[in-house]
């Protein structure tokens, strides 16, 4: 069981134990392991975790997710990031999608459809012009 003093939003010290292509693992208080996903390592784009952290490095992490049954934590190095930020972003994108879907179909149609001619029609047209 995960300790009762461990909750989402808690900031604690941890040690990077392993690097993977998708993030870094850290051990925190009580021997719990947690994953710091690539997207939680830095506000900037991170290609490989070793650009930001190294094994054995001491870090401060924020708990952003608790998987009680698996005894695992989701961790972040972005200490000032509001945990609810990502869900708000999802809501904003839903609002934009709804705005787009509410617009009438007529507005989404092209103003004029182009007539497509085959190569044969172009040849016939040029022959007609040449014979005149």
Q: Does 104 map to a domain?
A: no
pTM attached to this predicted model: 0.59
Contact 98, 53 (CB under 8 A): no
Report percent pLDDT > 70 for the chain. Answer: 57
pLDDT along the chain (132 residues), means of 10: 75 96 93 93 94 96 90 90 50 43 48 55 57 57
Question: What is the structure's pLDDT at 90?
Answer: 42
Q: Distance (Å, rounded) from C-alpha 26 to C-alpha 88?
A: 27
The CATH number linked to 54 is: 2.40.50.140
Q: Distance (Å, rounded) from C-alpha 81 to C-alpha 120?
A: 63
Contact 59, 27 (CB under 8 A): no
Question: What is the structure's pLDDT at 72?
Answer: 86
Question: What is the structure's pLDDT at 41?
Answer: 96
Q: Does 48 map to a domain?
A: yes
Number of domains comprising the chain: 1
């Amino acid at each position: 069981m995960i300790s009762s003093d461990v909750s989402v939003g808690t900031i604690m010290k941890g040690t990077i134990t392993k690097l993977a292509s998708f993030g870094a693992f850290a051990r925190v208080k009580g021997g719990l392991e947690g994953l710091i996903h690539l997207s939680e390592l830095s506000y900037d784009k991170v290609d490989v975790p070793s650009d930001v952290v190294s094994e054995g490095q001491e870090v401060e992490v924020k708990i952003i997710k608790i998987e009680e049954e698996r005894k695992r934590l989701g961790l972040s190095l972005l200490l000032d990031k509001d945990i609810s930020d990502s869900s708000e972003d999802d809501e904003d994108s839903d609002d934009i999608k709804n705005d787009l879907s509410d617009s009438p179909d007529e507005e989404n149609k092209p103003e004029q459809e182009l007539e497509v001619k085959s190569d044969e029609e172009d040849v016939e047209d040029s022959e007609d012009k040449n014979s005149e």
